[in-house]
Structure 1
Amino acid sequence: MLLVPEPWWPSAFLALVLFVDAVASVRPPRFIRDCLAGVRLPREWWWTLVVVKLLAAAGLMAGLAIPGVGLAANIGVVAYFLSAAAAHIRARFLKQEFWLNCLGMLALSVAVLIMSYAAR
C-alpha cells in the first residue's frame, strides 16, 4: 500500500463533496437540519461538523502531495460516517436522510479508500 493516493481523482472528488457539504452546513437546508435534529445533536454543536468536514477536505487534498496525510484523512472520514450511522441507529432516526445521506457518504468514503489506497 502506498501512502499517496493512486489514482488521485477519487480523493479529490471526496474532498470536493465534503467541501460542498460543509459550505451547505453553514446555513443548513431543511434535510440537514432534520437530520441533525433527528439524531438529537444539540444546535450549539452543529458548527463543529462544518469544521470537521473542512479539515477532512483539506487533509484529503494535502494527501495528494504529502504521503500519509490523505490516507489518515480518508480513514477519519470513514470513522466520521460510521459514527454518524451509529448516532442515527441509536436515535432510531432511520428515515431517508440516514439511507441516502449518511450511508451514501459512508459508502463513498469507503469506496475512495479502497480505490485510492488498497486496490493495487
Structure 2
Amino acid sequence: MHLTPSTSWPQIVLAGLLAFDVLMSIRPPKFIQVCLDGVNLPRDWWWVLLVVKTLAVAGLLVGLEHAGIGFAANVGVIVYFLCASYAHIRARFMKQEFWVNCLGFLATAIAAFIISFVA
C-alpha cells in the first residue's frame, strides 16, 4: 500500500461525482430531500454535508500531488458513506435512495481506494 495514488483517474472520478453531488445539494432536488428527511437529518444541518463533501473533493484533488492527503480523503469518504449507510439502516429508510445513492457512492469510494492505493 502506498500514500500517493498509483493511478489518478479513480480519485478524479470520485472527486467529480462528489462535486456534482455538492452542486445538486445546494438546492436539493426532491430525491435528496426525501433521502435526508428519511434518515431524520435536521434541515438545519444539511449545510454541513456540503462542507464535508467539498473538503473531500479538495482533499482528493490535492492528494494527487501530496502524499497521504488523497489517501486520508478517500478513507474519509468511505467512512462518511459507511455512516450514511448506518443512518439509513437505523432509520429503516432502505428505499431506492439508499441502494443507488448511498451504497453507490460507498462502492465507488471503495473501488477508487483499491485501484489507487492498494493495487
| Range class of TM-score, shorter chain | over 0.9
In 2, the alpha carbon distance for the partners of 1:86 and 1:80 equals 10
Structure 1 residue runs of 4 or more that deviate by more than 2 Å after TM superposition: none
TM-score (structure 2 length as normaliser): 0.99
In 1, the alpha carbon distance for the partners of 2:32 and 2:116 equals 29
Q: How many Å apart are 1:2 and its aligned residue?
A: 1.8
TM-score (structure 1 length as normaliser): 0.98
Q: Are 2:80 and 1:80 aligned?
A: yes
Give per-residue Cα distances to partners, 1:38-85, cap 9 Å, x unaligned.
000000000000010000000000000000000000000000000000
In 2, the alpha carbon distance for the partners of 1:53 and 1:90 equals 22
Q: Are 2:68 and 1:68 aligned?
A: yes
The residue aligned with 2:36 is 36
Counterpart residue identity of residue 96, structure 1: Q
**Number of aligned positions between the proteins:** 119
In 1, the alpha carbon distance for the partners of 2:6 and 2:31 equals 34
The residue aligned with 1:14 is 14
In 2, the alpha carbon distance for the partners of 1:93 and 1:31 equals 13
The residue aligned with 2:4 is 4
Alignment of structure 1 residues 95-114 onto 2, 5 Å = 95-114=95-114
In 2, the alpha carbon distance for the partners of 1:55 and 1:94 equals 27
In 2, the alpha carbon distance for the partners of 1:6 and 1:17 equals 20
Counterpart residue identity of residue 118, structure 1: V
CA RMSD, aligned part only? 0.5
The residue aligned with 1:53 is 53
In 2, the alpha carbon distance for the partners of 1:6 and 1:61 equals 14
In 1, the alpha carbon distance for the partners of 2:33 and 2:78 equals 22
Q: Give me the identity figure in percent.
A: 58
Secondary structure, counterpart of 1:67 in structure 2: coil
